[in-house]
Structure 1
C-alpha cells in the first residue's frame, strides 16, 4: 500500500506542473555567486531572476564590501542587467563561517539600526536590489566557535524589522534558512517575520554534511525512512504552521559530496562514514566516474541520484538534471516562490542545472 501511495503522489505532482505553466519572472530562479568578475559572463544569466552576491561582511556594526577587487566584482554583476533587464542583484552577508559577530551585533538595537542603514547605503551606491541574510544560525549551533544565544531568535525578527524600516517597501529582503528540523523549530519566529520578507531561501542541501557520521543524500527532495530531512519535510513543516508557501524557495546544489564509507553495504547509503571532499557539478563526468569504478543509482523515494564505488568505498551524493527537474516541478505544483541553488560558479556554463531549472519552468521558451 505504501508503494502504491508514493506512486500516485508522484503522478499527481509531476502532472500538475506540466499543466500549470509559469510566466517568465513569476517563478524565481535564484543563484548565489562567489566567483570572480569575468567568469560569470559565460553563464546564461538571462535564465535567472536573482543573482545573490556572496558575500559582504560585517565590520563593526556595518555591512561592507571588503576589498577593491570585491567592489569591481559587484559592479560587474550589476552590469549583467544589460543582458537581463529584469535581473535583481542582491547583496548577501554571512555564509558558513562568515557570521562570527552576527549574534553580538544583532542582539543590540544600535547594532541592528547601524547595520540596516549600511545596507541601504550599499544598495544605493551599487544600485543593487536588496539584502539576503545568511546567518548560520540564530539560537542554535552553527560554525564551530560562533556565538549563539536563545535571544537570537527574537533579535532576528527585530533585525528584519529594522531592515524593512530602513529599506522601505521596494528592495527585497530574504534570508537563507537551514532546511533541517532544529533550525525550522528553533531559529526563527516564522509567523512574525512573514510580512517583513519577500523570500525564504531554504537550504535544502547539506542535509548530510561535513559533520555527518552516517551517509545519506545531501539534497533529497523527499524524506526516506532513514533520513527525515528533505526539501519536502521543510516545506510541510512551514505549511503546517501557516507560513505562506508563496514566499518559500527550495534549494538545490550545483556540487556533490563524497563520503568514505566504513561498512560496504546498501550501496553506501545510510552507513557509518566520514566526509572526504566536495565536487562541483561541472567536474562530475559520469562516464569517467563509471570507468573509475562508480555505479550510478537513483533513489525513487528521495528522488535523488548517487554514485557508489564499492572497491574504494566512496559515495557521491549530488543533484543531477533529473532531480533538478523534479524539484522545479515540485516548487511549481506547490505554488512556491521558486528554486535557488548554491552556486552558479560550480554549475556548467552550458547544459547545466540552471538550464534544467529554466526549461522545466518555461518549457515553451
Structure 2
C-alpha cells in the first residue's frame, strides 16, 4: 500500500494553491543586521533566499572584476551551485526552514543569480553537461536543507545586465531557447524527485518588466509551461541616474510622465505577459519595499519636484547609495504627495531639493486590488529587510492579499 500512496501524495502536492502568494526575498548577506529571527513567516507563503551563484571553471561564475568572487566553488563543476559563504548560507537556510514547523503555508526557496551573478547563465544554459550539473547540485541542496524549490534570476537572457570583461561571453542570441530547454529539463527532474520525496518542488523566475524582455512573447509563453509562476520585477522603471525624477513603480500610466508611451508601469507590464499568452495564475506581481532619491531637483510649476530636472542621485541612502528602505523614507524630511493617476506616493523636500519615489501601505493596497482584479497568482517583493521596524509593508500586503 505504501508504494501506491507515494505517487498519490505527490500528485496532490502538484495542485496549485488557491490562496494568493506573498513572496519575499531574504538577502542572506544582510543576516547580521536582519537575522532570520526577524522574518515574520506567518505573513509569507515563500521566502526567496538571495543569492546563490553558479560555478564556472572551478570558481564563482561572474567575470566582472568589481563583483567577482575569485574563490573556488564548493562543488567545482560547471553549472553547480556556488555559495556566497557556505557556513553563513547554511545557517540562514536551516533557520528559515525551521520556521516552516510553526507556519505550514511557508516555503523556502533559493534564488540563483541576481543582477551581479547572472553572467554565467548563458554558458550554463548553452551546455547540456552544465545544465545537468546544475540540476543535480540543486536537487542535492533541496534534500540537504529541506528546501521547496529554486528561483532563477537571470538578468537577462540575450542581454547581460552586468557586462563581461574582454574575452568572456555573457549573452547569446539563443539564450531564450536555451532557457526554455533548461527549465524543461529542470521541471522533469523536479517532478521525478517530487514523486520520490512526496512533495512538489517549485520553479520560478524573476523576469524583466519591459518590452525588451518579453519580446514577441512566444518564448516566455513556452518557458512558462515549465514554471510554477513568473515573478515580474515591476519596479525600477525610473532610476536616479536619469536626469529627471520619475516614479519607479507606478501601477498605472500617468499622462504627465514623459516616457509613458514606453509602458513603464506595473499594469502595462502585466498586460504584456497576458497578451503573450501567459495565464494569469502563472503571474506574480513584484512590488518594492524601497525607494529612490534624487538631489538638486527643481520644484517645478506644481512645487512638488515631479518630472523635474535634477543634479543626480542622492548619496545618503543604503550603503551610501540612492536607495532607501521604507523605514528610511519615513524618517526623511519633506512633504508627501500622491500621484492619483499612477497610484503611488512621492516625497519632495523643497529646502534640500530632494525628491524620493517609493511604495507605501496605501499603494500596496492598490496593487493588491489590481492583483485580485486580474486574477494573478500573488505578489512578490524586494526585500524583507527594507521594511520598517513594525513590518508595516508586509502586514499591509498580507492583509490586503488575504
Q: Same fold (TM over 0.5)?
A: yes
Q: How many residues align?
A: 334
- CA offset digits 1:318-344 (Å, max 9, x no partner): 100100011111111111000010001
Contact 2:252 2:265 in 1 (8 A): yes
Please state if 1:166 is matched with 2:201. Answer: no
Please state if 1:178 is matched with 2:208. Answer: yes
For structure 1, which segment, 137-146 or 343-352, has the greater mean C-alpha deviation from structure 2 after superposition? 137-146
Contact 2:48 2:151 in 1 (8 A): yes
What's 1:26 paired with?
19
Q: 1:121-132 counterparts in 2 under 5 A? A: 121-132=140-151
Please state if 1:145 is matched with 2:176. Answer: no
Please state if 1:308 is matched with 2:348. Answer: yes
Secondary structure of the residue that 2:143 maps to in structure 1? helix
What's 1:336 paired with?
376
Specify which of 292, 295, 306 is matched with residue 260 of structure 1. 295
Alignment partners' CA distance in 2, 1:153 and 1:314: 40
Q: 1:284-295 counterparts in 2 under 5 A? A: 284-285=329-330, 288-289=331-332, 292=333, 294-295=334-335
What's 1:54 paired with?
50
CA positional deviation for 1:216? 0.7
- CA pair 282-219 structure 1, distance change in 2 beyond 3 A: same
Secondary structure of the residue that 1:117 maps to in structure 2? helix
Alignment partners' CA distance in 1, 2:176 and 2:240: 25
Contact 2:217 2:277 in 1 (8 A): no
Contact 2:297 2:355 in 1 (8 A): no
- CA pair 188-200 structure 1, distance change in 2 beyond 3 A: farther
What's 1:18 paired with?
none
Please state if 1:242 is matched with 2:277. Answer: yes
CA positional deviation for 1:186? 6.8
Alignment partners' CA distance in 2, 1:281 and 1:263: 24
Please state if 1:89 is matched with 2:120. Answer: no
Secondary structure of the residue that 1:161 maps to in structure 2? helix
Contact 2:221 2:278 in 1 (8 A): yes
CA positional deviation for 1:140? 2.2
Specify which of 127, 130, 134 is matched with residue 108 of structure 1. 127
- CA pair 213-162 structure 1, distance change in 2 beyond 3 A: farther
Q: Return 5+ residue gaps in structure 1 as ranges.
A: 1-23
- CA offset digits 1:93-144 (Å, max 9, x no partner): 1111122222122221222121122111111111100000111111124124
Alignment partners' CA distance in 2, 1:95 and 1:220: 23
- CA offset digits 1:47-66 (Å, max 9, x no partner): 10001100111112101334
CA positional deviation for 1:252? 1.0
- CA pair 211-142 structure 1, distance change in 2 beyond 3 A: farther
Alignment partners' CA distance in 1, 2:160 and 2:87: 33
CA positional deviation for 1:221? 0.9
Greater Cα radius of gyration, structure 1 or 2? 2
- CA offset digits 1:171-212 (Å, max 9, x no partner): 100000111221122798122112200010010011112543
Alignment partners' CA distance in 2, 1:308 and 1:144: 34
Considering Cα pairs closer than 8 Å and 6+ residues apart, tell me whether 1 or 2 has the greater RCO: 1
For structure 1, which segment, 314-323 or 216-225, has the greater mean C-alpha deviation from structure 2 after superposition? 216-225
Contact 1:139 1:187 in 2 (8 A): no
- CA pair 200-118 structure 1, distance change in 2 beyond 3 A: same
Secondary structure of the residue that 2:215 maps to in structure 1? helix
How large is the Cα RMSD of the aligned pairs?
2.0
- CA offset digits 1:214-261 (Å, max 9, x no partner): 321111111223233111001111111211011101011111111125
What's 1:99 paired with?
118
- CA pair 150-345 structure 1, distance change in 2 beyond 3 A: same
Alignment partners' CA distance in 2, 1:245 and 1:261: 42
Q: What TM-score does the superposition give when structure 2 sets the normalisation length?
A: 0.78
Contact 1:123 1:130 in 2 (8 A): yes
Please state if 1:348 is matched with 2:388. Answer: yes
Please state if 1:43 is matched with 2:39. Answer: yes
Alignment partners' CA distance in 2, 1:112 and 1:283: 41
Please state if 1:279 is matched with 2:324. Answer: yes
